[in-house]
Structure 1
Amino acid sequence: MITVLNAFCAVAATVGLGYMLRALYHDRGDVALRYLCVVFGLSVVGFTLLIPAVWVRVDALFDAPNIAALLAGNCVTGLVFGQQIVLQYWIHPPAEARRRARRRIVLCALVLIAMALLFAQLDPSVQRPRDFSVYYGPSSYYFTYLLLYVFVYTSGEVLIARTAWRNAKETQDVHLRRGLRFLSIGSWLTLGYSAVRIINLFGPRLGFDLSHRDDVSVVFGNAGALLAMLGFTFPGWGPRLSLVIRWCVNLVNYHRLYHLWATMHRTVPEIALFPPRNRIRDLLKLTELEYRLYRRVIEIRDGQLFLLPYADSTAVDGAARSARRAGLGRDEIKAVTAAVAIRTAVERRSRGRPGDEGLVLHPSAHAAGPDLDCEVAELLHISGELRRVHLASTLGGGAPEQGPAEAPGREADAA
């Protein structure tokens, strides 16, 4: 399982690196993007080295047992400092960010040198690609090496988590805000890795051993790393994702309004600018959804205005009273009365009967809302109520203009 997790993270980091390199190609002057490319590159190398088959081959290449452990640790240390530098360029002016970046680069170099010296003293001659930390844990040199590594890793992740979350509250860019929150959550999650490593460091000295749960640390570390990668890339592809989600929502809403639109169109065919030849063709139209949804809303509203004089005021008033008795909210009452007005108007017009000239509904029952989303939400509500009215009148066997026929069903729903 751990090998699969490391391989998956390596692939994810490779995809992220390709995405960052593409972005850097189009914006070569962005210093933060350069450091992000380094961060993702280190992630690719680090996770790849932790795959046992790669570990063994790297050791053979350098003729040094377990050198892959040192290289993987160096990659993780480097990317933690790299993530901090990226955040500095995101939240500070260029001059200030450069000053802070230089300080972190020097500190990172000193840490890497200290880790290399401690690892050299360890002389890990027995190759352990799967349980290196557990096997060499008792060594005093490895204890110092791992203590330094965990301290730098943990302090760096805490700093990243706090900085990202604090600045997520201040930014107005919704996609950057979400990316910073993903990064912050991922950084906090990696502290589970640190906790297990610290327990394994001090546990044997305190009389307990949890080394058999060392794989838990990898799960925390990998999960946190994946969220961090998501956070760093989200500001770039988040807007595209929003467009895809918007398209899907429009598609669903367009077809959810079909029943209400079809009810209008059967009675008032002239409302349709481009009437579909059949339902299947309508379902297969996947382009210009924003425009077609807008047209559907307009045509429904036109149908409401046309049918309003044919509505039965007695049924509408009765439905409103029943809805109020059932404890329904203001918006639900408007939807109920609009649905009853539509239903009774369609019935009366189909029978050639006149309506009530003095009928007055709430403006939102037949007039445009403040924007398309509000319009769609209102009409979907009306469509749902229209189905209820139709079902109640069908089950009750009475004419829909009797109004209270649907009230028991609504009151039952409220109960």
Structure 2
Amino acid sequence: MPDPTVLFPTVLGGVAALLRLPGLLRNPHDPLLRAVMAMLVAGVGVFFFTSVPVVAKINELTGVPNAAAPFDYFWAMACAASGIVLIINWRGGSPERIRRATRWCIGGYGTLCVALVVLFAQAEAPVERLRDLDTYYANTPYMREMIVLYLVGHTAAATVMASMCWRWLRHVGGELRAGLALMVTGYGLAIGFGLLKFTALGARWAGADWDVLSTEVARGFTSVAAPLIACGMVLPIVVRRFRGRWQDWTRYRRLEPLSRLVGGLAPTRAAVSVPLLASVGVRRLQRESLIHDGLLTLNPYFDLGLRARTLAEAVADGATGDRAAADADAAMVLAAVETMRADPERRVIASSRALQEPAGEDRDLVRISQALVHTWKRAAGGPGAGGATR
């Protein structure tokens, strides 16, 4: 059975990368999106390639004991570098400064990766260690330096990320603040991972055996840190996407009464077919377009005097400005529909040389639609309630 401490963060990171992929495909040259994708892919690589079965397979395929070590460290450095590049882009600034800082970061961690490979090539590490390589070779020349370099690079990146996210956290709110809080927690645990590793190494250098800190406790820290960081990155995206779709659906639903009343009044309708699986945002736009076309057709029938009287009565009854305006617009639209029905030959439209005012351009269509509902409820069985369906 796969190790859940490896499987869960690997799958979660993969899902997070897939959620980011559409945005990257639409904007392949966006440095921020590229940094996020690189970090997520590197994070998945870290957990996948450091799992014990994969480590053993890499060693077997290469025929070199512990060959997976520099390979795994490469993925860790790639994750660290992409995280810092991500922060550089988040922080903003001139494009030239961002490119320069990005080049320095990639160059620095690229050099570190080369140094790790060189040190491993110089070391003598004939015994394969799948779980405790760090502490087993803590006193072996070149292996010791390779391990320390890896931990320094990893811990430095986690510290920078935690610091930057913490400073940003204090200036934002909502889902972004929640996401940053998760990331700060995750990077705090990543710092703890490095400190535990250093502690276990220090114990080995002093002649003690605290290997459990490296092999068990530290691994537990990073297994929790990775999902927290991935969730922190994904949470703002998911919440914003869900909120946008929910707002589209709510507006679409609340526009239904007004759409039923005026949506079919235009003499000609645009031949635009909405696919069966079209998003609710597309359906909302189509409904709004039909309403605007209907209001434009009704414009010659609008009685602005009736609207003014209804508005004054609503204000006198204590209605707020927006609610009173919506009630007045609803009354004017209902009256215009009845007047238009009494003019089947459309003489008023044919003789109208100019519209009285823009039809619904600056009006709150949702408020008007909901005002129609209240009007029909008050006048149940009246002409508005029965004749609105098209």
- One fold, TM greater than 0.5? yes
C-alpha distance in 2 between matches for 1:66 and 1:16 = 30
2:77 match: 77
More helix by share: 1
8 Å Cα contact 2:124-2:140 kept in structure 1: no
2:26 match: 26
C-alpha distance in 1 between matches for 2:209 and 2:246 = 49
CA separation of 1:195/1:102 partners in 2, compared to 1, >3 Å: closer, same or farther? same
8 Å Cα contact 1:137-1:201 kept in structure 2: yes
C-alpha distance in 2 between matches for 1:136 and 1:67 = 14
Q: 1:169-188, aligned counterparts within 5 Å?
A: 169-171=170-172, 174-188=174-188
Residue 78 of structure 1: SS of its match in structure 2? helix
CA positional deviation for 1:112 = 0.8
Count of paired positions: 248
Unmatched 5+ residue regions in structure 1?
Answer: 251-415
C-alpha distance in 2 between matches for 1:197 and 1:245 = 46
C-alpha distance in 2 between matches for 1:31 and 1:120 = 34
2:37 match: 37
| Percent of pairs with identical residues | 24
2:208 match: 208
Residue 209 of structure 1: SS of its match in structure 2? coil
Unmatched 5+ residue regions in structure 2?
Answer: 251-390
Residue 130 of structure 1: SS of its match in structure 2? coil
C-alpha distance in 1 between matches for 2:205 and 2:185 = 32
Q: 1:351-390, aligned counterparts within 5 Å?
A: none
Residue 138 of structure 1: SS of its match in structure 2? coil
8 Å Cα contact 2:135-2:204 kept in structure 1: no
What's the RMSD between the two structures over aligned residues?
A: 2.6
Provide TM-score, normalisation by structure 1.
0.55
CA positional deviation for 1:139 = 1.2
2:155 match: 154
Mapped pair 1:232 → 2:246: no
Q: Deviations over 1:38-94 (max 9, x none)?
A: 111112222111122211222222232222121111111111111110111112133
C-alpha distance in 1 between matches for 2:159 and 2:56 = 33
CA separation of 1:50/1:87 partners in 2, compared to 1, >3 Å: closer, same or farther? same
C-alpha distance in 2 between matches for 1:241 and 1:137 = 49
1:290 match: none
8 Å Cα contact 2:158-2:191 kept in structure 1: yes
Amino acid at match of 2:181: R
> 3-12 vs 75-84, which deviates more?
3-12
> 42-51 vs 19-28, which deviates more?
19-28
CA positional deviation for 1:205 = 2.6
Amino acid at match of 2:239: G
C-alpha distance in 2 between matches for 1:44 and 1:124 = 27
Residue 208 of structure 2: SS of its match in structure 1? coil
CA separation of 1:70/1:53 partners in 2, compared to 1, >3 Å: closer, same or farther? same
8 Å Cα contact 1:193-1:218 kept in structure 2: yes
8 Å Cα contact 1:84-1:160 kept in structure 2: yes
> 143-152 vs 206-215, which deviates more?
206-215
8 Å Cα contact 2:138-2:204 kept in structure 1: no
Amino acid at match of 1:151: V
> 129-138 vs 188-197, which deviates more?
129-138
CA positional deviation for 1:241 = 5.3
> 97-106 vs 201-210, which deviates more?
201-210
CA positional deviation for 1:151 = 1.3
Amino acid at match of 1:23: G
Provide TM-score, normalisation by structure 2.
0.59
